Amino acid sequence: MSFLCGLEFSCDDSCISFFNNNNVVFSKIYKQSFIHMKFKGVVPNVALHEHIHGLGILFDWVFYDKFLIQQVIYTKGPGLNGSLFVGIVFSKLLAFFLNVSTIGVSHIEGHILSIFISFKFFSFPYVALLISGGHTFLVYVRGFMKYVLLGCSIDDSIGEVFDKVASYLNFGYPGGPVIESLSVNNDFFFNFMLPHPFFYQYGFNFSFSGLKTCTRNFINFSKNTINEVNICASFQNNSVDILLFKTIMILKYTNVRTLVIVGGCSANYFLCKKFSFFLKSSNVSVLSPSLEFCTDNASMITLIGYYYLKWGKYMCDEQFCCAYPMLDICSV
Ligand code: KG4
Ligand code: ZN
């Protein structure tokens, strides 16, 4: 049996995955969040060093499989330069010593198609809402390699804002899961008067920096008087409203009836529940990958390599870049 080996080292998680055909046979993540926690965010240099440490750990786990690797697939970007560097150099060396070739794939494309890990016979077209620590994108997915970027955040990404708000409240990193768990028993429509910036402005694009600043001011001015739980619930509710509003606009514009929510923040149960609730009446089905494939993972990277090989679309890294002008430009 031969395997495709995928490596994802773009941010703060060292991930490896093995595929046999399009089945995940092995998937492991060495998480660094316990280190970045004390800095309340990812520190690029620390991430680089931890990836080198992570490589040792990952390859201790998979040592016995190494001679059966048929192809090495790695994340070529976007991401933190140091982290990407470790992943790319290691992948190239591994491929060299095993005498196999490499494919560099886009992290964004990995997230966008990650739904196919959980639903193998999923069909196009769909609208993908990519919400992660690095990106907030609304993409019209017409097929494999046919992506139209329709909206993106003009400032902070949504995951970044979750992390920042958590750090204002001294909750550590990553902020999303803490904010979600604190908000869990709050009213579905609970809301302080936080703003809904860009609701009616700038077409399909988002802006979250105003909401972030407003939440920070709110925290500073209402110290000791307002419950943290309520702040978290309000912030979460407001940010979900902003995402929902623009997504509805895009669904109407494209007339597509399937919405796929991907990226780290799609692990947020409240968010997915609210989207499903409001889109049910328009007959839009809302789906997300299973929880382990919402946040960064190597299986989404290996999957792209699998499709690449299957459909004979193998290209060198440079050609691959050119095939994604929109996504490459917007992800810098
Ligand atoms: O996709 P991801 O693992 O990495 C990037 O590509 O950036 O996303 C990480 C982001 C972090 O900002 C984290 O706070 C957020 O996903 N996140 C969440 C939840 N779990 C992770 N945000 C909201 N609710 C969650 N349950
Ligand atoms: Zn990601």
Q: N- to C-terminal Cα distance for the chain?
A: 39
Instruction: Check if 77 has its Cβ closer than 6 Å to any atom of ligand 1.
Output: no
50 DSSP assignment: H
Q: What are phi and psi of 84, to 5 degrees?
A: -60, -40
Q: How many helices (H) and strands (E) does the chain have?
A: 13, 10
Q: How confident is the model at residue 63 (pLDDT cuts 50, 70, 90)?
A: low
Q: State yes or no: pLDDT of 317 exceeds 50.
A: no
The helix/strand/coil state of 224 is: coil
What is the number of other CB atoms lying within 10 angstroms of the CB of residue 150? 19
Ligand 1 atom with minimal separation from the 175 CA: 14
Q: Which of 295, 299, 300, 331, when mutated, tests ligand 1's pocket best, judged by the most ligand atoms within 8 Å of its CB? A: 295
- Pairing mode, if any, of strands 13-20 and 101-106? unpaired
Contacts of 3 (CB under 8 A, 6+ apart): 18, 19, 20, 25, 65, 68, 69, 70
Q: What are phi and psi of 245, to 5 degrees?
A: -60, -50
At residue 226, what is the residue type?
I
Q: Distance (Å, rounded) from C-alpha 54 to C-alpha 47?
A: 10
Q: State yes or no: pLDDT of 254 exceeds 50.
A: yes
pLDDT at 331: 36
Q: Distance from the CA of 296 to the center of ligand 2, in angstroms?
A: 5
Averaged pLDDT, 287-309: 96
Using the Cα atoms of residue 238, residue 242, residue 245 and residue 251 in order, give the sign of their dihedral.
Answer: negative
Least confident of 3-12, 71-80, 217-226, 297-306: 217-226
Q: State yes or no: pLDDT of 257 exceeds 60.
A: yes
Q: What are phi and psi of 246, to 5 degrees?
A: -70, -35
Question: How high does pLDDT run on average in the chain?
Answer: 87
Q: State the ligand closest to the CA atom of 37.
A: 1
pLDDT at 190: 57
Longest CA span, the chain? 64
Instruction: Check if 174 has its Cβ closer than 6 Å to any atom of ligand 1.
Output: yes
pLDDT at 322: 37
Taking a C-beta distance cutoff of 8 angstroms, is the pair 72, 317 a contact?
A: no
**267-302: b (≥16 Cβ within 10 Å) or e:** bbebbbebbbebbeeeebebbbbeeebbbbbbbbbb
Q: State yes or no: pLDDT of 64 exceeds 70.
A: no
Global confidence as pTM: 0.92
pLDDT at 316: 42
Averaged pLDDT, 54-78: 82
Q: Could you tell me the two tokens for 71? A: 């192809």
Q: State the ligand closest to the CA atom of 292.
A: 1
pLDDT at 325: 39
Higher per-residue pLDDT: 301 or 146: 301
Instruction: Check if 6 has its Cβ closer than 6 Å to any atom of ligand 1.
Output: no
Q: State yes or no: pLDDT of 225 exceeds 90.
A: no
Q: Distance from the CA of 223 to the center of ligand 2, in angstroms?
A: 33
Q: How confident is the model at residue 321 (pLDDT cuts 50, 70, 90)?
A: very low
Averaged pLDDT, 184-199: 65
Q: Distance (Å, rounded) from C-alpha 228 to C-alpha 240?
A: 18
Contacts of 60 (CB under 8 A, 6+ apart): none
Q: What percent of the chain has pLDDT over 70?
A: 86
Instruction: Check if 163 has its Cβ closer than 6 Å to any atom of ligand 1.
Output: yes
At residue 54, what is the residue type?
G
Q: Could you tell me the two tokens for 315? A: 């290209």
Q: Distance (Å, rounded) from C-alpha 274 to C-alpha 264?
A: 17
CA 8 to chain centre: 12
- Residue of the CA atom closest to atom 7 of ligand 1: 133
Q: How distant, in Å, are the alpha carbons of 183, 194, 254, 267 from that of 177?
A: 10, 21, 32, 8
**200-235: b (≥16 Cβ within 10 Å) or e:** eeeeebbbbebbbebbeebbeeeeeeeeeebbbbbb
Using the Cα atoms of residue 146, residue 148, residue 149 and residue 151 in order, give the sign of their dihedral.
Answer: negative
Q: State yes or no: pLDDT of 156 exceeds 80.
A: yes
Least confident of 134-138, 202-206, 237-241: 202-206
Helices in 99-227 by DSSP H: which ranges?
Answer: 107-113, 115-118, 158-168, 175-183, 209-221
